Amino acid sequence: MKKYFLGIDLGSTTSKAVIINEQDEIIGRGITNTRANYMVATEIARLEAIYNARFSILKMKLDDEIKSKPEYKKYIEDIESVFQYLQFKRRLDKLIVQFDESINSTFEGEKKTTIVNFVKTIFNIIAPEIRHEFIFANLGNKNQFFRDIVSERYNKEIAKLGKEYFEPMMLIYDKSITPVENELTEFDFKELIFEALEVLNEKYSYLENTNPEVSDIQFDIEMNILKGNHKQVHESIKEHITFIANMDIHIANMVGTGYGRALLPFPEKSIKSEILCHAFGAHAVFPNTKTVLDIGGQDTKAIQVDSHGLVTSFHMNDRCAAGCGRYLGYIADEFNISLNELGPLASDAKKEVTICSTCTVFAAAEIRELLNVGEERADILAGLHKSIVMRAMSLLARSGGVRNEFTFTGGVARNQAVLKYVTELVRKNYGDDLKINIHTDSIFMGALGGAMFARRSYKD
Amino acid sequence: MSKSVSKEKSMIIQKEMIAGLLKELGNAKETGKKVVYTFVPGNISELILAFDMLPVYPEINALQSGMRKKSEGFILDAEKLGHSEDVCTYVKCDVGMMINGNIGPSGEKIPAPDLLLLSYTGCFTFMKWFETLKRLYPNVPVALLHTPYQEGHKITPEMTQYMVKQLKEEVIPKMEKVSGNKYDEEKLKKILANSSKVEETIIKIFDTTKNRPSPIDAYFAGVYYIGPINNGFRGTPEAIDYYNELYKEIMDRVHNGLGPITPEGEMEKERFRLVVEGPPNWTHFREFWKLFYDMGAVIVASSYTKVGGVYDMGFRVNPDKPLESLADYCMNCYTNLNLEQRVELLSKCITDYHADGFLVNSIKSCNSFSAGQLMIMQQLERRLEIPVGFIESDLVDPRYFSYANIKNRLESFFQMLEQRKLILE
C-alpha cells in the first residue's frame, strides 16, 4: 500500500494541512481559519487535505487525458467546486438550525417574530446566491473560509435593514456562527462525490439548453467545451471516481507545527518548530534557498538555511507586530474593508504616503490623521505596506541579511502589495542579481516541511 | 519547581564565605574597616585587600536582589527618580536599594562607602552610575581608574604604563588616605601570588567541560563558581581552598562519568553542548536554567564567566610585577576585548569544547555586552558553520523576561540542533 505523510501547521490565524507521497510531492492541501477550538481546526484542515488528495490522485491517474483533452480538466475542476459547495451546504444547514436556537433563546414576542422573518429572508437570498457562485463562478477557489463567505453576504443584507436591527442581527449572528464553526462536520467522501455528480448533471443540462450569447450566466470558453459531450466524459471518468472514493489514504506518519502545535495530540517527537518546518518546506520547493522570510498571522521570522535545508539561525520579532497578518487584519478593520482587498487597493496607489509609527496602534492613529488631512486611502495603504515591509527588512538584516536565493513564505505572501515591496526592497538592499522565490503554495510551506519531517522520521 | 536545590560541598563553603563577608561588612562601622564600592569587570580587589579594606560590588547586590525577587520594586523606585526605561537595570536596582536605606539582598544593611573606586572596563555606564552614587554620598572621595579598550587587539607597554601611572598617582594615594595605611607592595605581591594559584585552578575547572558528558554547566553553575573571585576573595587563602575543593568535586564527577548537578537534579543525558554569550537573567534564573535542563542542554563555556577576567588566552598575574599585573588583568577582562577578540575567544571555546551550537542571551538594557552581539553571532555562524540562536531578556528587570517567547525560540533552536544531527547522520 502506498504511504502518505501529513504535516499540520496550526497557525494562529489559519490551520493548514499538507499530504505528501513518498517522493515528497504534495498531493493534498487543506486550509481553514483557526478558531477557539484548535482540534476542530486541525481536523477540518486534515480532512480537507485528504479530500483534496483524492482529487489529486484522480488528476494524476488521468494525467494523459487532462493534457490532451481540456474537457477532462474542466470536468474535474467542476466536480471539485461542487464538492466544496456540498461541504459548505452541510455547514450552512447547521447554521440555519443554530440561528433558530439562538433567536429562541435571545428574543421574545414581536421582536422575535421580526428577527425570525428577517433571518429567513436573508437566508433565502444568500443561500441560492452562494450556491450559484460555487457552481458557476468557482467560489471555492477564492481562499475564503465558511465564516468569510457567510459574513460578507449576511452583512450586506443587514445593511439594508433599519439601523435599529443592526445590533440584534449581529448578536444572533455571533451567537450562531461560533458553535457551527467550532463543530466538526465530517463528510462521507463517497456520498458527497456522487451527489456532486448529480448537481453537475443539472448544471450541464442547463448548459445544453442555453445559448451563451443570450444567457444571463457568464459561461466561459472552458465551460463550453463540455457542451454536447459531458455525458461521455462522465462515463469514461466514473470508474476512476469510484476508485478514488473507495481508496484508502494511508497516513503513515504525521508532524505538527505552528503556534498551536503543543495542543496537538501528537507524541513529542512529532511536534516541530514552525521555523524548521517553513525553512525545510521552502528549501524543498526551491532547493537553492539560503534565506527565508516567513510572515505569518502572528509574527515575522527571518531564517537562514544551509544547503540541506537546515536552519542555521533565525530572528523573530517580539516588540512590534507590524507586518504580521494580524496587523493587516487590524488595518483592514480600520479601513472597513476585507483583508483580501488590502493588497489590491494599495497597488492602485499613485504615491506612497510615509507612515512613521512602528507600533500597530499608533500606526492606526496616524492613518486617521492622514485621512483627516485628505490623503487618499490607496496612497496611505501603499505607504503602510511599504513601512511594514521595511520592518521585515530590518529583521532580515538582524538575522544576517539576505543571501541568494531568497524565498518568501507565509500567509502574508498572498498580499500582492507586500510582495511588491518585498521584491523591491530586497533588490534595492541586496542587489538585482538576487533570485527571489515566491510560490503559490507559500502559505503551505510550514505544513509541507512538517510532512517532510514526518516522512524522514518514519520507520517501518 | 518543588524539588529542593541540590547542593555540593563547595556550594556550602561558598555560602559561608559570602555570609562571612557580608557579616564583616555589617560590622564595618564597629570594627573601623573602610568600605570601597567598586565593579566586577577587572576588579582590583587585591589592592583593596592590601589596604585591609572591604569591597562592595553594586552589580552583585543588584543581581542578588534579582534572584531574590526584590529587584522590581527597586527599579520602579529608581524610575520614579527619573531613570529611563532603557537605563541598565543593575544601576536602577542599585539606586533603588540605596534610596531604600541601603539594605542588602540578604536583609543586612550595607555600609555606606568610604571610597568610590570607579574602575571601568568597556562599560561606560559605570561612569554615570558613580555620578549617581556621588550624589548620594557627596562627601565620599572618588578614585578613577580608566582602562584603555583593546581596540588594536593587543596591550601595548604604553597602555600598561598609563594604567600603572593612574594606580600610583590616583588610586593608591586615595586608598592610603581613606584607609590610613601605607601602600605595602610586599603584601600585595603575596595576595597576587594567591590569585595566581586560583587562576590556574579556575582554568582547570572550566576546562573539564572537554569531557563527555561535561561534569559542569559552565554558565548557570559557572556564575556560582566565579562568585568568590569576583566577590571579594581574589587573592585570599579561602579562595584557594574553595577552588581546590570545587576542582576535586568536579574531577570526582569526571571519573564517575557524571553530568552536571542542576537545581532540578543531575543532568542524566547530555543531548546538546552549547557556548553561551551574554549574562543570564537573574530574576528567573532557575526557570531559565530549567528550560535548558529539560532539553538536556549543557553549557560547556560562556563569556559571562569571563567578565571578571579572561585566563583562557594565557593571561596570569605576575606577583613580581604587581601593579603591571593588575593593569593587564583589567585590560584583559571580557568586556574590554574588541569584537574580533571576542569572536576569537568564543570560536576557541566552541572548537575546544566541541559545542553543537552557539546561543546569545542579549540583555535589553546592557550596552556593553549587547553591542556587537549580532555581528559576533553571524561571524561564528559563517566561520564555524554551526547553528546559532538569539534570545533576549534582562538582567534584573522581571518585566523583560518573557517565558513564552524565550521558550518558543529555545525550542526552535534545540530542534535546529537535533534536526541537524538527524539529517546529517
- Whether the per-residue pLDDT at B5 is higher than 70: the answer is no
pLDDT tens readout for residues B50-94: 999 999 999 999 999 999 999 999 999 999 999 998 899 999 999
Q: What is the mean pLDDT of residues B266-287?
A: 95
DSSP strand pairing (A300-305 vs A311-316): antiparallel
A143 φ, ψ (degrees, to nearest 5): 55, 35
- Whether the per-residue pLDDT at A208 is higher than 80: the answer is no
Instruction: Specify the pLDDT at position B2.
Output: 41
- Whether the per-residue pLDDT at A460 is higher than 80: the answer is no
C-alpha–C-alpha distance, residues B345 and B338, integer Å: 11
Least confident range from A250-254, A348-352, A356-360: namely A356-360
Whether residues A456 and B378 touch (CB distance < 8 A) is answered with no
Residue A222, min C-alpha distance to chain B (Å):
46
- The dihedral through the CA atoms of A167, A169, A170, A171 has a sign that is positive
What proportion of chain A, given as a percentage, has pLDDT over 70?
94
- Whether the per-residue pLDDT at A305 is higher than 70: the answer is yes
C-alpha–C-alpha distance, residues B198 and B235, integer Å: 8
Whether residues B412 and A311 touch (CB distance < 8 A) is answered with yes
Q: Show residues of chain A in contact with B370, CB under 8 Å.
A: none
- Whether the per-residue pLDDT at A249 is higher than 80: the answer is yes
- Scanning every residue of chain A, which has its alpha carbon at the shortest distance from the alpha carbon of B422? A457
Confidence band (pLDDT; 50, 70, 90) for A67?
Answer: confident
Q: Let me know: does A366 contact A381? Beta carbons within 8 Å.
A: no
**Chain-wide mean pLDDT for chain A?**
88
β-strand partners of A255? A7
A273 touches chain B (CB under 8 A): yes
pLDDT tens readout for residues B372-381: 999 999 999 9
Instruction: Specify the pLDDT at position A328.
Output: 87
Reading the block at residue A87, the C-alpha cell is 461541504
Least confident range from A45-49, A236-240, A447-451, B188-192: namely A236-240
Helix (H, G, I), strand (E, B) or coil at B217: coil
Q: What is the mean pLDDT of residues A409-437?
A: 94
- Whether the per-residue pLDDT at A211 is higher than 70: the answer is no
Confidence band (pLDDT; 50, 70, 90) for A237?
Answer: confident
Residue A324, min C-alpha distance to chain B (Å):
16
Spatial CA neighbour of A155 closest among A368, A337, A32: A337
Q: What is the mean pLDDT of residues B287-298?
A: 96
Least confident range from A259-273, A429-443, B255-269, B302-316: namely A259-273
Write down the number of H helices and E strands in chain B: 19, 10
Nearest beta carbon to residue B387 from set A273, A274, A313 = A313
A313 touches chain B (CB under 8 A): yes
Helix (H, G, I), strand (E, B) or coil at A289: coil
Instruction: Specify the pLDDT at position A261.
Output: 81
Residue B169, min C-alpha distance to chain A (Å):
45
Confidence band (pLDDT; 50, 70, 90) for B295?
Answer: very high
Instruction: Specify the pLDDT at position B384.
Output: 92
**Chain-wide mean pLDDT for chain B?**
92
C-alpha–C-alpha distance, residues A159 and A166, integer Å: 7
Q: What is the ipTM for the molecules in this complex? A: 0.82
Nearest beta carbon to residue B381 from set A273, A312, A398 = A312
Reading the block at residue B33, the C-alpha cell is 574597616
pLDDT tens readout for residues A87-107: 999 999 999 999 999 999 999
Nearest beta carbon to residue A314 from set B386, B402, B412 = B412
DSSP labels, A292-337: EEEE-SS-EEEEEE-TTS-EEEEEE--S--TTSHHHHHHHHHHHTS
Compute the residue count for chain A.
460
Nearest beta carbon to residue A273 from set B378, B381, B412 = B412
Reading the block at residue A369, the C-alpha cell is 490623521
Confidence band (pLDDT; 50, 70, 90) for A205?
Answer: confident
Spatial CA neighbour of A330 closest among A362, A377, A353: A362
Q: Show residues of chain B in contact with A308, CB under 8 Å.
A: 423-424
What does each C-alpha distance from B345 to A106, B155, B203, B275 come to in angstroms? Answer: 70, 16, 14, 11
Whether residues B385 and A457 touch (CB distance < 8 A) is answered with no
Whether residues A398 and B374 touch (CB distance < 8 A) is answered with yes
Q: What is the mean pLDDT of residues B271-290?
A: 96
Q: Which of the residue ranges A126-140, A255-269, B144-158 has the most confident prediction, judged by mean pLDDT? A: B144-158
Q: Show residues of chain B in contact with A275, CB under 8 Å.
A: 412, 416
C-alpha–C-alpha distance, residues B131 and B140, integer Å: 12
Helix (H, G, I), strand (E, B) or coil at B310: coil
Whether residues B419 and A276 touch (CB distance < 8 A) is answered with yes
B23 φ, ψ (degrees, to nearest 5): -65, -45
Flag whether the pTM goes above 0.80.
yes
C-alpha–C-alpha distance, residues A12 and A29, integer Å: 18
Give the torsion through C-alpha atoms of B149, B152, B156, B162, to 10 deg: -30
Q: Show residues of chain B in contact with A273, CB under 8 Å.
A: 408, 411-412, 415-416
pLDDT tens readout for residues B118-136: 998 878 899 989 999 999 9
Reading the block at residue A205, the C-alpha cell is 443540462
